[in-house]
Structure 1
Amino acid sequence: MGYGIRMRVWGDFACFTRPEMKVERVSYDVITPSAARGILESIHWKPAIRWVVDKITVVKPIKFDNIRRNEVKDKMSVSASMIEKAMNEGKAIYLDSNDNRAQRATMLLKNVEYIIEAHFELTEKAGETDTVEKHYNIVLRRLRKGQCFSRPYLGCREFSANFEIVEEERKIDSHYQSTEIDLGWMLWDIDFDRNCKSIFYRPKMVNGEIEVPNLWR
């Protein structure tokens, strides 16, 4: 944990969609570890490293809001034969959003702020030049300059996230001091090496802090 990082993430809106809601989006109460990992990967990621989220602190009170927005109602299913046929005929494969548009409700979070504490581990794809010190210095430089590979977002791409590094060792003042909340079952991450298997865990928020287990081990 000597090479861990601590960063502040905030935004106007967020939606960490519950997978059991099939049609209209309903957000979890707080950010999921997989969403936090996605934010970290948007700042720095290589096949040589894997991010592990250690702790999430919920700074601001949890507030929900409802909106309606346009989404597509169909998924594009493309097979290898369809791709080959389109290439032979010189045609494009696409989904027309104008013909597949549907207005759906979304229950989202507003005015969110989190402190994410995480570290990374070297993977089997790490080469001789891939050292922990090298990648740690890259992450620090990017965070200090506000740089990212792609714009991080809070659950949905339209809800962009602001971020900054937290370098000073200080206690974060959470809205949920002296409270303990059982957040129920929540998506931890998706194992893409095992047919995209969803992994769930049951977090508890104690004094605004959520200790995230490392279930990869």
Structure 2
Amino acid sequence: MSYGIKLKVWGRYACFSRPEMKVERVSYDVITPSAARGILESVYWKPSITWVIDRIHVLRPIRFDNIRRNELSAKLPLTAIRKAIKDAYSPVEIFIEDARQQRAAMVLRDVAYVIEAHFEIKQGNEDNSSAKHKDMFERRARKGQCFHQPYLGCREFPAHFELIEGDIPRSELEDEKDLGWMLHDIDFANNMEAKFFRAIMRDGIIEVPLFNGEEVRG
């Protein structure tokens, strides 16, 4: 049995990076299902359940901004981390001045979404009380509690959230728009393969197919 929830999320900026852009960051037009799942998991995560995104409501018009961001051009080498673990005193560090890199980014501005989703109990788990999980999620969402601050694609773009217990606010968008192929999620059980689906937005609503559905392509 699955239980559904509705969560409104919004923020000043968002960036859901297209994987085909290798250097400069360019955002999808709207939040991806994988980013929506990450927001739900930041509010309530348990190893015995899996979040499934059913529908995404885009409440505000799609607007883009061009900004420049500081990023690191390097990452910590695995050998340095292993050495620090082994001897307990070797430094684990990157000096920003030596690895700073400015990159342009096309990000979304003034976004607001409603995520419709449900969770499924993983087989073989003793912690299988769906009503308990739903109540715990709703209680945490009402109080604004989270395991870590949810974000809109990048950690520097925090997401505000609130539980929707009544009707979903009406979108400002109308008509139908083909958003092209969009990242659905990563298949962690199959060599980290990226999965995509054709995102069609109708009156601000995107129906998200099942991850294993025939509409989803690798």
TM-score w.r.t. length of structure 2? 0.91
Instruction: Kindly state the Cα deviation for residue 134 of structure 1 after the two structures are TM-superposed.
Output: 1.1
- The residue aligned with 1:132 is 130
8 A contact 1:86–1:93 mirrored in 2: no
| TM score, norm. by length of structure 1 | 0.91
Give the 5 Å matches for 1:68-79: 68-79=68-79
* Residue of structure 2 in register with 1:186 after alignment: 182
Q: How does 1:1-12 map to 2 (within 5 A)?
A: 3-12=3-12
Question: Residues 134-213 of structure 1: matches in 2 within 5 Å?
Answer: 134-168=132-166, 170-177=167-174, 179-213=175-209
Task: Report the equivalent of 2:50.
Answer: 50
The answer to whether the 8 Å contact 1:47/1:125 transfers is: no
Using the TM superposition, give the Cα deviation of residue 84 of structure 1 relative to its aligned residue in structure 2, in angstroms: 4.4
RMSD (Å), alpha carbons: 1.9
Aligned-residue identity in percent: 53
Q: Which runs of 4+ in 1 moved over 3 A?
A: none
| 1:46 positional shift | 0.7
Return the offset for 1:118. 0.2
**Pairing of 1:15-164 with structure 2 (within 5 A):** 15-79=15-79, 83-84=82-83, 87-88=86-87, 90-124=89-123, 126-127=125-126, 129-164=127-162
* 1:161 to 1:89, Cα distance in 2 relative to 1, 3 A: closer
Q: How many Å separate the matches in 2 of 1:90 and 1:215?
A: 45
CA deviations over 1:46-65 (Å, ceiling 9, x no partner): 10000000000100000000
Whole-angstrom CA distance in 2 between matches of 1:166 and 1:209: 16
SS of 1:98 mapped into structure 2: helix
CA distance in 2, matches of 1:141, 1:172: 21
When structure 1 is superposed on structure 2, of 86-95 and 135-144 the one drifting more is 86-95
SS of equivalent residue, structure 2 residue 98? coil
- Conserved? CA contact 1:17–1:25, under 8 Å: yes
Q: What amino acid maps onto 1:213 in structure 2?
A: P
Work out the number of aligned pairs and report it: 213
Question: What residue ranges of structure 2 are gaps of 5+ in the alignment?
Answer: 214-218
